Structure 1
Amino acid sequence: MHIVFTDLDGTLLDHETYSFEPARPALELLKARGIPLVLASSKTEAEMRPIAAAIGIEHPMIVENGAGIVNMPDGEAEEDGVYDRLRAVLSSMDPDLRRHYQGFGDWSDAEVAERTGMSLESARLARTRRFSEPGLWSGGEDARATFAAILDAHGFQAVQGGRFFTLMPKTSKAEAMKKIARHFAETSDEPVFAVALGDAPNDAAMLEAADRGFIIANPAHAELPVSDREREGFIARSERTGPYGWNDMILQLLA
């Protein structure tokens, strides 16, 4: 069976308008063929549920950049209390070290909106976190290494993204994809053919791990480098951007 895993911003959602309407033909074809569509994003569950509802799907979702999986049948793969444990680790640190890190949990909705350019409501949803903490580091490299080592000892990692220094469990979108694929394989008794679509560096591992990967063109950032998997024909690139390219690649896959 096929399962499609997709990033949202700049991939299924237009980079400027955040609309997925140009991908509607491919979305309807996936639904008609009973192919699960798994959303995989840095967004929180609270941010992603309205998008899933608008698309008309109730499949598992990979949230907070792979830090968590939600919507699994019977709550499988959902671990409670991860965010609280992460914040407790921060609270237990020496204040001289802790003061160098400020995350979404330290800021108000208005402060998150100001730092990200989000609306106040979007910032509220982005602060409804269950698995990870984006933030900013203001200290030196030695202190940062000490900070990361403490997180590591408690089972967390610190990942520097384009804008934020994100604290999260030791997992990724790619690992979450594999976990969901295993679940479907075990419950359906069919081998799973995983298809992944993404546009950015944080999608690269997921694209590499999939049976078939599609890099969606996004002129807002540098292109992903060509990998061995792409040279071998397992990964292809869209010509069009965002949901237009997404639509092209899915229709091509299912032709």
Structure 2
Amino acid sequence: MRDLLIITDLDGCLLDAATYAWEPAREALDALRARGIPVVPCTSKTRAETARIQAELGIPGPAIVEGGGAIVGADGAVESLGRPVAELRRVLAGIAAETGGALRGFGDMTDAELAAETGLPEDRAALARRREFDEPFRFLRDETALLPFVRARAAAAGISLSRGGRYWHLHAGSDKGRAVRRLRERFPGARAIGLGDSALDLPLLRAVDLPILVVRPDGTPDPDLVRGLPAARRSDGPGPAGWARAVLEALRT
């Protein structure tokens, strides 16, 4: 059924934000597979991470990776939309030096450190660090006070700053919305349902026909998403269970 697409963020949506489990969505994924409806990840994860997740969940096909930095086709061909991560890391290093070392990106961590920080197994943390178009980072201190300075320095270098569910992200020349629009050109006439849970997903949700806000573990939607899409549907629960019910409900209506 190529007249409908599901385009979804992963962490906090199809995957549990804390455990990365997906099994509560199994029934919905089976239903989508039976109807031939593609499920397209649109994620901040790397190509390597996303390919493994697609294989585990049985959702082959295209994917949008690294926050819209690239579209990976079903054949593995990559359409690059963002600037190389080496440029982003140089800018981040400069800003970090100006703040006295208050920022730390994925490129500054070892696999073991990232695994300890995120709860990922170390082999998966290694895949997460294989960045190409987007550099996640976090503040080590004084986030509220330093954020305007960091944002201004990034903008001066032509780089955008976006907040994800767990990390801030530096990217340039791309976002999830631009990538979704490019992806939809490959499915002319298809209706798109989009699901996301954080501010980083707002461009994605604005680029689909039916946006759905997946609520956070406390049962509330991200305030930035509510401000940006006040009339959007909301899931009735967080993570893959809420995701699954929202998708099945959308298919019925």
Distance in 2 separating the partners of 1:7 and 1:203: 7
Paired residue for 1:254? 251
**Aligned to 1:57, what secondary structure does the other structure show?**
coil
Distance in 2 separating the partners of 1:251 and 1:213: 14
Tell me the matched-pair count: 246
- Structure 2: which amino acid aligns with 1:249? A
Residue 11 to residue 139, structure 1, CA distance change in 2 (3 Å): closer
Given candidates 129, 133, 136, the residue that maps to 1:134 is 136
Given candidates 50, 53, 57, the residue that maps to 1:51 is 53
Residue 28 to residue 205, structure 1, CA distance change in 2 (3 Å): same
Residue 42 to residue 220, structure 1, CA distance change in 2 (3 Å): farther
Unaligned runs of 5+ in 2: none
Paired residue for 1:34? 36
1:244 positional shift: 2.1
Paired residue for 1:192? 190
Paired residue for 1:15? 17
1:216 positional shift: 2.4
Distance in 1 separating the partners of 2:29 and 2:105: 35
1:127 positional shift: 0.8
Distance in 2 separating the partners of 1:175 and 1:90: 23
**Aligned to 1:52, what secondary structure does the other structure show?**
helix
1:94 positional shift: 9.0
Distance in 2 separating the partners of 1:72 and 1:88: 32
Give the TM-score taking structure 2 as reference length: 0.79
CA contact (8 A) 1:72 1:78 kept: no
Paired residue for 1:97? 98
Larger radius of gyration: 1
Distance in 1 separating the partners of 2:96 and 2:230: 47
1:48 positional shift: 1.6
**Aligned to 2:242, what secondary structure does the other structure show?**
helix
- Structure 2: which amino acid aligns with 1:46? A
**Aligned to 2:240, what secondary structure does the other structure show?**
helix
Q: What percentage of residue pairs aligned between the two structures are identical?
A: 37
Distance in 2 separating the partners of 1:20 and 1:162: 17
Deviations 1:197-222 (A, max 9, x none): 12233223322331012222333474
Q: CA RMSD in A?
A: 3.3
Give the TM-score taking structure 1 as reference length: 0.78
Deviations 1:72-99 (A, max 9, x none): 65735236971233335557x5995386
1:149 positional shift: 5.5
- Structure 1: which amino acid aligns with 2:242? G
